Amino acid sequence: MQRDTARGRKPVVSLRGPAELLAAVPGLLGYVPEESVVLIAVGPAGRHVTQCVRCDIPPPSQVSVTADQLAAATAEARPSFVDVVVVGGGSLGPRGSPPRRDVAEAIRCSFGVRGVAQPGAFWVSKLDAGQRWQSYDHPEVGGELPDPAGSLLSAELAGLGHVTFGSRSEMVALFRPDAGETLRRRSELIDQRIGKLAEWTPEVGARDVVRAVRLSAEPDMSLSDEDVADLAIALSDARIRDACLAMAVPPNSSLAHQAARLWQFLARALPAPERAEAACLAAYAAYQGGDGTLARIALDTALAANPGHVLAGLLDHALQRGFHPHRLRALAEHDEMGLCARLRAAS
């Protein structure tokens, strides 16, 4: 199960009817899901989408367990109601009945036990323009899906700099490590620098980070192995790491995008355990930007590289429980090195 807080900085878009809701799913998740169950939770005020939770369609033997897990994860944030979307799972029956009704009914039951309203359950064959969608509850409610890429939500998100990926695997590729020999070479360079830490100061590391963030604004960002090793040392310093967190705020600013691009690059370029620092920064940037799926992937990368990473564990806890990004905004208030001021002054 992927626990994904709905993307926002809050594009304000009114969704008129089930077809527009279904077309919004790729924008809400950040990618186009296939063969999936997606829950869309609306917050206590009943007006804003606060969570999207996705999992693979379970086999019949696992439907009850999966439904209970999904409902438990979503109900913890106390939504006013939740819509269920099944993507794929087969084709319409001979009388137009959508497939995998067992999944929708099991989820409805699990939410009912927890006192959460579940007003809508829908099936769609694929999240592409012209694909068939159908209500589980009302046979007369259905039709052809409008183009998700042409939805108002997609346009709003694109204007904020968000990318909607063609699949989750495309997002995972953003954190795929570089070749083993390259990582070994960089690991040796890092070890050499660790042996000379007496000659290193946080100001040296701060200058290295500022230079790299500036380079990340260029289309063909190029950092040498030596640069990567220097940045590994810089990010291992708590003061610099905390200053880098501040670059994620305000979300969707040019600085936030530049920094996020650098952290993703370093999450691929650095060996373990140093990769964890960059991946954690990428996770925080994604979390503050409202991209829960990307934050989830980045945190998985960080915790795989360093299972004991404290900040990654904190963010993982928050994401699992659906904390709103604003609840973690205080993490971005410790730029004692003044990195953001230096970068904004130069822009």
State residue 1's pLDDT score. 52
- Residue 302 corresponds to which amino acid? A
Distance between CA atoms of 119 and 84, rounded to whole angstroms? 9
Q: What pairing do the DSSP bridges indicate for beta strands 81-87 and 36-42?
A: antiparallel
Question: Cα separation of 17 and 297, whole Å?
Answer: 31
Task: Give the pLDDT of residue 13.
Answer: 63
Model confidence at 316, pLDDT cuts 50, 70, 90, reads very high
- Rounded-to-integer distance, Cα 294 and Cα 291, Å: 6
Name the token pair of 291: 């991209």
What are the residues whose beta carbons fall under 8 Å from the beta carbon of 156, sequence distance 6 or more? 11, 12, 13
What phi and psi, each to the nearest 5 degrees, are found at residue 114? -95, 5
pTM: 0.78
Retrieve residue 301's tokens: 């990368």
Contacts of 21 (CB under 8 A, 6+ apart): 15, 40, 83, 85, 120, 122
Evaluate whether 154 touches 26 at the Cβ level (below 8 Å).
yes
In sequence order, what are the residues at sequence separation of 6 or more whose Cβ sits closer than 8 angstroms to the Cβ of residue 147?
23, 128, 129
pLDDT digits (tens, 9 = 90+) for 260-276: 999 999 999 999 999 99
Residue 77: pLDDT band (50, 70, 90) is: confident
Give Cα 91 distance to the centre of its chain.
Answer: 30
| DSSP strand pairing (117-124 vs 81-87) | parallel
Under DSSP, the state recorded for 165 is B
CA distances from 276 to 271, 279, 281 (A): 9, 5, 9
3-class DSSP state of 48: coil
Please say whether the beta carbons of 80 and 46 come within 8 A: yes
Evaluate if residue 45 carries a pLDDT over 80.
Answer: no
Q: What strands lie across the sheet with 132-135, from one edge to the other?
A: 2-5, 49-56, 36-42, 81-87, 117-124, 132-135, 142-144
Asked if residue 202 has pLDDT above 60, the reply is yes
249 with 332: CB under 8 angstroms?
yes
Closest to 183 measured CA to CA, from 238, 246, 229:
229
Query: What does pLDDT average to over the chain?
Result: 90
**37-41, 150-154, 316-320, range with the lowest pLDDT:** 150-154
